[in-house]
A and B are shown apart, each in its own frame.
Chain A
Amino acid sequence: MRSSSRFVLSAMCFGFAFLYVPILVLILYSFNQSAITSVWGGFSLRWYSALFNNDQVIEAALLSFKIAATSATFATILGTMAGLALTQMGRYRGRLLFTGLIAAPLVMPEVITGLSLLLMFISLQELIGWPASRGASTITIAHITFSMAYVAVIVQSRLTGMDRSLQEAAMDLGGRPAQVAFDITLPLIAPSMLAGWLLAFTLSLDDLVIASFTSGAGASTLPMVIFSKVKLGVTPDINALATIIIAVVALGILLAGWIMSRRGRQEEK
């Protein structure tokens, strides 16, 4: 083995260890009997039972799931439309601005997005009386806004790499654009839409800063509850919660990956 590849190999080992060891330690200590993180007091599920008896956490988790599912669904619809508008619609006025509006939310610092959306909601309330109060609905709108940009980018990259002959054939046979979109294009990009939905769901489930700005009194999402608990230091029940979230997400990703690779293999046949 050449010296350069040995360097690359050790760098990769170091890099992946760096990525995974902290998560693995967190998972390990969620099963710790002792309340002090550094002391291993034996295997126990006490933090898990403490978690399930914590009404505040359960309530926040349910709210977060509701917001995540709603915002991911709307973000997938709007993001797919935006992806179509950027790849299949040719030229139109304001296209460059549109491209910028899709790209900017991906890198915009969350504090700016959150602050600007809150001030927008307050101004709208003064002008037209809507939204009457802030809470789950305003957080959902905020999450749709930034996650639709992610969906648009995923859908867009699939659409640019796609063979357009099927769509062209359908158009030649007299299919109207809307019909071709529903019968041909959408089924072809369905896997990317699923990936976009999953990403939008996890982004929403994870967001602290934008939700803190756009939420009103009373509505606390799961990250807001977690943050207020861990600001003061490590708490073992949050380790248990983290383990559950990580396990659910990892299972979801593996399942989605398995479905997609199966679909891919079927198409090859």
Chain B
Amino acid sequence: MIQDVENRAKNPDTAVSNARGDKLWRYFVIGLPYLWLLLFFLAPFAIVLKISLATPVVAQPPFTQLLDLSVGAQQWLLATLDNYRFLTEDNLYWISYLKSIKIAAISTLLCLLIGYPMAYGIATASQRRRNLLLMLVILPFWTSFLLRVYAWMGLLGKQGVINSLLLKMGLIDSPLQMLYTDMAVYLGIVYTYIPFMILPLYASLEKMDLSLHDAAADLGAKPWQRFIDITLPLSLPGIIAGSLLVFIPAIGEYVIPALLGGLDSLMIGRTLFDEFFVNRDWPLASAVAIILLFILVIPIMLLQRVQRES
């Protein structure tokens, strides 16, 4: 570095080449990851949109080229929107979308109800314990998602741990059907997504000024009053961020309904997956994805706003 300064004093040309080098470095650092994401994240969505307008054929790849100009413009438009018309006419897809939203919403609420007291407990624990507890929340997140879902198959199955325990204790006469039900899907989602709820809640609760509580207590506020008037409003950003972090990916969840849900637990992620891999109707699967994306635009934008503000 010192050599650099000396060089510059001796030779004014290096200042010019330095400036050029700095600019190149800047272009490089910004440009490379930017281009990568444009190419492999943003551009693919345009292609999904394009293929959602194509017609399925039995071929490789299984869809027609888009602009077939041999037909009239009006006919072409009708033909291209065919996949979407099909989606609105077939009840299966409406039910899938609505059911996914319902399951994701209820799971989010359950995560909030279980996660809030946990986040509160961690945020008010002593500094030493706090790190250990946080680590305990994060650790399952690092272990395989697929295997954590699978763990519930062993617990909930007809020959599973819970059923055999209940049978042994004489509480039931025949095994309960717990696996392959909606309840199992809720359990699976809450179990795997709850760290996403606890962490933002903890972050907003940890920042809270505890002297506000003391002041309110001095003025005679009851514990539940202090909670409603102080804690809850101050942790609102964490509640919103955590809820969106659970809700958004849960809507499109595939693994959990596929392993824990029944045949009738139609979540849209599973419908899309089956449409693609089983029915091999790629254009229809793309149309399903585009509509799912439209459903998610508002929550995703909301999440970005909340995260920017914090």
Cβ-defined contact, B34 with A209, below 8 A = no
- Determine the residue in chain B with the shortest Cβ distance to A153: B307
A15 / chain B contacts, CB cutoff of 8 Å: 114-115, 117-118, 194
- Asked if B120 is at the interface of the complex by the 8 Å CB criterion, the answer is yes
- Determine the residue in chain A with the shortest Cβ distance to B285: A115
Interface residues of A (CB under 8 A from B): 2-5, 7-9, 11-12, 14-16, 18-20, 22-23, 25-26, 29, 36-39, 78-79, 81-82, 84-85, 89, 92, 94, 98-105, 107-113, 115-117, 119-120, 122-123, 141-142, 144-145, 148-149, 152, 170, 173-179, 181, 198-199, 202, 205-206, 208-209, 212-213, 223, 226-227, 230-231, 233-234, 238-239, 242, 245-246, 249-250, 253, 257
Chain B, interface size category, equals 35 or more
- With contacts A109-B248, A208-B255 known, is A12 near B137, CB below 8 A? no
Q: Chain B at the A interface: mostly helix, strand, loop or mixed?
A: helix
B171 → chain A closest CB, angstroms: 15
6 contacts between A and B (CB under 8 A): A8-B121, A12-B122, A15-B114, A112-B252, A115-B272, A119-B51
Q: Please tell me which one of the listed residues B34, B40, B194 contacts residue A19 in the complex, with CB atoms under 8 A apart.
A: B194
Bound CA span A231–B254, Å? 12
- Determine the residue in chain A with the shortest Cβ distance to B36: A78
Cβ-defined contact, B5 with A38, below 8 A = no
A48 → chain B closest CB, angstroms: 16
A119 / chain B contacts, CB cutoff of 8 Å: 44, 47-48, 51, 282, 286
- Determine the residue in chain A with the shortest Cβ distance to B296: A109
- With contacts A7-B117, A109-B292, A123-B47 known, is A206 near B146, CB below 8 A? yes
- Asked if B229 is at the interface of the complex by the 8 Å CB criterion, the answer is no
Cβ-defined contact, B42 with A122, below 8 A = no
A109 → chain B closest CB, angstroms: 2
- Determine the residue in chain A with the shortest Cβ distance to B195: A19
Cβ-defined contact, A19 with B285, below 8 A = no
Cβ-defined contact, B40 with A141, below 8 A = yes
Cβ-defined contact, A175 with B223, below 8 A = no
